[in-house]
Structure 1
Amino acid sequence: MTVLLVVLDGFGLNDDPSRNALLAASMWNWRRILDESPHCRLGASGEAVGLPVGQMGNSEVGHLNLGAGFRVLQDLPRITAAIDDGSFFANETLTAICRDVIASGGRLHLLGLVGPGGVHAVDEHIVAMVELAHRSGLPADRVLFHAFTDGRDTPPRSAATFLPALEASFAGHARIATVSGRYYAMDRDSRWERTKRAYDAIVDGHGLPVASAAEAVAAAYARGSGDEFIEPSVVAGTPSLAPGDAVIHLNFRADRARQLTHALALADFDAFDRGDRPIPLDIATLTEYQAADELPVRVAFGPLIIDSLAAHLSRLGMRQLHVAETEKYAHVTYFFNGGVEEPFADEERILVPSNREVATYDLAPEMSAGPITDHLVAAVERGEHDFIVANYANPDMVGHTGVWSAAVTAAEYIDACLGRLTRAVVGAGAVMAITADHGNIEEMRDAAGNPQTKHTTSPVPFVLVGDEYEDVVLRDGSLADVAPTLCELLGIPAGPQMTGTSLIEA
């Protein structure tokens, strides 16, 4: 019997119809599934998934917990704990790179996403790194910060408040050199023309000239742009990168930090023309963005070792299939597999290309859900795999646009896909578990009715679809309980690291 796990990315639970686009959509299949199938609620944020209390969930964290079967202490609280206990300021990688810059007479360039979003970076880590550089003896004019503004995991125009506050917290130990919206600096879908804009500003000082970071934000707002789309801007007096300089990327989440880091670090990089670059640069990342043989940089906080569900199934000789479109492919492979890049034995993968003809997904809210469903229906009907995991990106990616009508369209399209999947699962005698990695689309408006584009702290659903399981009783739990539940459905013991427990009570 095939067990299928469907992850509806960014699909949380919320009873407020004025904020929840799912309640405005005609989701007849979803409502029928809930009426006829056992379901429960799962914690997908904060301590339930190894994040600080009250911290919204995200796709990386969600898929790590789903695949691990235990509460994975995330990089964010792990690094913050190091700051709190003082070990951060003795970190071998970070202190060494500061010593090397002092010895070379170069400058230290710090990169990172700013603001209270907490999904990719936090200001506390940036401030701590500036403090470490100061303690190491680097003067303020040799510590430059390249700020990436958010607008997706924060309100769309909030950088005007928190960016000056962050700059003030540097206490004269560093200054902001460039400002770039995450649209440019943190692309993850091989839109290299965007990455090049951020790269050119950081490396060569080629960008919109501004007198200050605050002016970069104000000018973008005047042009009608929000934080996410601030064009790479260079503060007056910012020098280009030079031999002897070093770079530390302070995002703790890997997926949106890789492209820019590749452009800075790889000698054989060819995704765009770097001119006379690259110059020899000493580069470090706060966490591991990729295996060392693929991205040879220093890493401050190495990865945790996770014995994932995928690894467990592979050892047992069970066949598995992982399916997603480009936007979420890393999540059902690298993250779901516990930070392992290469497929395990007997693991197949299907990558469905995301739509690159549109700038934002409100313009194509169906995304690639149709082709994903085609692959899943065919795989379920063939019955060749013991386990299938798939991700539908629409609720999250369209939710991030803040466009209500597009979110409703996305929800209705996903509903049609769920209808097709349900028919295939029931017809094949398979079982399907439907859940989400975090919330988003269920809170498209804030309390004042303004568009909201960030993730949420909402619980997420867990539903079992299959004739054999229609009468079981499920308990509420967390994402860490999903993998042990899948093991029970597959008729195998839970993996050796799995401290979560099955959601099936009776």
Structure 2
Amino acid sequence: MTGDRPRPIVLVVLDGFGIGGDPTTDAIAASPMPTWRALLETWPHAVLGASADAVGLPPGQMGNSEVGHLNLGAGRPVLQDLPRIDAAIQDGTFATRPALIEACTRAAHPDGRLHLVSLIGPGGVHANDRHLVALVGLAARQGVPVVRIHVLLDGRDTPPRSALGFVADLETRLAAAHPDARIASVGGRYFAMDRDSRWDRIERGYDAIIHGVGEHASSALAAIEAGYARGEDDEFIAPTVIDGVDGTVRSGDPLIHANFRADRARQLVHAITDAQLDAFDRAAPDGRPAPTDLFVVTLTEYEAGLPVQVAFPPETVRSLAQAFSEAGWRQFHVAETEKYAHVTYFFNGGVEAPWPGEVRRLVPSPRVATYDLAPAMSAVGVTDALVEAIGSDQYDFIVANLANPDMVGHTGVWDATLAALAVVDGCLARIVAAMGSKGGLLAITADHGNADALRDANGRPVTAHSLNPVPFVLVGHAAAGLRLDDGVLADVAPTLMVLAGLPRWNGMTGRSLIL
């Protein structure tokens, strides 16, 4: 202990670890997890809302890692980009955004062509079709003669083979919004939405979008059907160029990436805009050079410093990490690659740089095609770093993410998810043991559900997040005898502030869960 406060305070986020309850559909309920179950029996715990309006999302919208970590760090439900952009469409201010107007203006001439890149479908985690259709309608009103859409298929936050209906619906809406808005390429998100520096995947998506190089099909629907015939679900459909639709990106063309979530959009935008990137050759396979002088707009900010215009710049969010830094605390943030941005950028309120006194550790994720092939992921490496940080006595606050329940859960593979949960439980045992002699406080929670809803009622795999709430457990001498109320993710930060003996900051609307 330091004074009257526990040291260190450790927050462990079990990614995708919701509360379901039915062991036939909920892999967490089906898993023994002896350490986790002992913690629930011994220490105070609560249930937290992690989806929809509990975290600043529309009703019925599942939570996600970005939203979850932002709420955990902010101490208030943060209005997310999805409802923020929806509101702008509804009140008409969407059509006044300078970056969007400039992109349309640059294409509003007889030979003009505006390119739009977006994930499609009702998943609502990375993009929304309403935004894409609104962009097409804006282009029509601004006099853009040709709009070419480069469609990214989901299959993770939507059922694995559901794209045919979504694309057919989208094509109907595009035709109503613009006389020449056509889908030029189609590909699974596995390629153009990688976030783990697997540039060979990005290259295939880039070549289809920029150069018109890839598989070929007569229509977007035919591209999907051909993918299914090859055994590919939506997420993995090979990047495909639609014959008869000239959608190649020419020098000087404007391009808008319409995903609102940053982490899986930034690598493709780097490939399009960063002339110094040497991860792969941006020239076409036939030797055609990459286009130059592109005017690129991202719907939200994907990364500070990218050479793009941002339609909806970020709003400033004060965070727990900032408050601890201002109190003179030393802190340690650790995760593997898949969730590193979440314990840094998102947990810190959208701030890219570390705060004074903040140390970060990135543990590389295993390089496998899908994580059912390596269900342990890098949880042991993250735990090694976490246990070392606890034992060092250097840090006042530590935040860590164990990615397995979410990333393996996204594969929908039941046995692999059970294996992942067994690894996580072993990691929790090590973390609890490391904290045992320190007099600190361990808080365990999750950012959203996933592994808790791994099958539907008919036993079919579910790869999407769930709407389920998540647990919150306090472990350590400072938690002994406490009673906790249920709440939302935004209540975690004020609860930790109370236990840390620090004052709330202005704008923190969350409440302490301590009764």
2:374 is aligned to 364
2:497 is aligned to 487
1:103 positional shift: 4.1
Between 162-171 and 35-44, report the one with greater CA deviation: 162-171
2:464 is aligned to 454
| 8 Å Cα contact 1:485-1:504 kept in structure 2 | yes
CA distance in 2, matches of 1:191, 1:162: 27
Select 2:333's aligned residue among 306, 318, 322. Answer: 322
2:427 is aligned to 417
1:178 is aligned to 185
SS of residue paired to 2:296: strand
1:418 positional shift: 0.6
SS of residue paired to 2:366: coil
1:242 is aligned to 250
Alignment of 1:75-474 (within 5 A): 75-103=81-109, 105-139=111-145, 142-171=146-175, 173=178, 174-239=181-246, 240-275=248-283, 276-291=289-304, 294-356=305-367, 358-474=368-484
CA distance in 2, matches of 1:497, 1:265: 37
RMSD over aligned CA atoms reads: 1.0
1:470 positional shift: 2.1
CA distance in 1, matches of 2:418, 2:110: 56
SS of residue paired to 1:388: strand
| 8 Å Cα contact 1:205-1:238 kept in structure 2 | no
2:44 is aligned to 38
Letter in 2 for 1:346: G
1:267 positional shift: 2.2
Please give the per-residue CA displacement for 1:41-69, whole angstroms capped at 9, x wherever unaligned.
Answer: 00000001000011000000000000111
CA distance in 1, matches of 2:407, 2:187: 21
Letter in 1 for 2:395: H
Please give the per-residue CA displacement for 1:340-359, whole angstroms capped at 9, x wherever unaligned.
Answer: 11111000001111001x21
Unpaired runs of at least 5, structure 2? 1-6, 284-288
Letter in 1 for 2:300: T
| 8 Å Cα contact 2:208-2:241 kept in structure 1 | yes
Runs of 4+ in 1 over 4 A off after TM superposition: none
1:499 positional shift: 1.3
SS of residue paired to 1:269: coil
Between 36-45 and 85-94, report the one with greater CA deviation: 85-94
SS of residue paired to 1:300: strand
Letter in 1 for 2:264: R
Between 248-257 and 479-488, report the one with greater CA deviation: 479-488
CA distance in 1, matches of 2:49, 2:136: 35
| 8 Å Cα contact 1:49-1:72 kept in structure 2 | yes
1:328 positional shift: 0.2
- Please, what TM-score do these two structures have when normalized by structure 1? 0.97
CA distance in 2, matches of 1:496, 1:335: 20
SS of residue paired to 1:197: helix
SS of residue paired to 1:494: coil
CA distance in 2, matches of 1:96, 1:480: 37
SS of residue paired to 1:427: coil
| 8 Å Cα contact 2:154-2:234 kept in structure 1 | yes
CA distance in 1, matches of 2:245, 2:266: 24
Letter in 2 for 1:286: L
Please give the per-residue CA displacement for 1:4-46, whole angstroms capped at 9, x wherever unaligned.
Answer: 0000000000111110111221210000000000000000000
Between 178-187 and 15-24, report the one with greater CA deviation: 15-24
CA distance in 2, matches of 1:498, 1:90: 31
CA distance in 1, matches of 2:236, 2:55: 30
Letter in 1 for 2:405: P
Alignment of 1:488-503 (within 5 A): 488-503=498-513
SS of residue paired to 2:21: coil
Q: Sequence identity of aligned pairs in percent?
A: 59
SS of residue paired to 2:166: helix
CA distance in 2, matches of 1:51, 1:65: 11
1:19 is aligned to 25
1:243 positional shift: 2.2
2:74 is aligned to 68
Letter in 2 for 1:283: V
SS of residue paired to 1:40: strand
1:269 positional shift: 2.0
| 8 Å Cα contact 2:252-2:292 kept in structure 1 | no
SS of residue paired to 1:405: helix
CA distance in 2, matches of 1:104, 1:191: 38
Letter in 1 for 2:137: E
Q: How many residues align?
A: 500
Between 392-401 and 96-105, report the one with greater CA deviation: 96-105
Unpaired runs of at least 5, structure 1? none
1:454 positional shift: 0.3
SS of residue paired to 2:175: coil
CA distance in 1, matches of 2:172, 2:245: 18
| 8 Å Cα contact 1:149-1:227 kept in structure 2 | yes
| 8 Å Cα contact 2:119-2:126 kept in structure 1 | yes
Letter in 2 for 1:273: D
CA distance in 1, matches of 2:216, 2:170: 21
Please give the per-residue CA displacement for 1:432-486, whole angstroms capped at 9, x wherever unaligned.
Answer: 0000000000000012211000001100000000023121010001011111111
- Please, what TM-score do these two structures have when normalized by structure 2? 0.96
CA distance in 1, matches of 2:278, 2:171: 34
| 8 Å Cα contact 1:267-1:278 kept in structure 2 | no
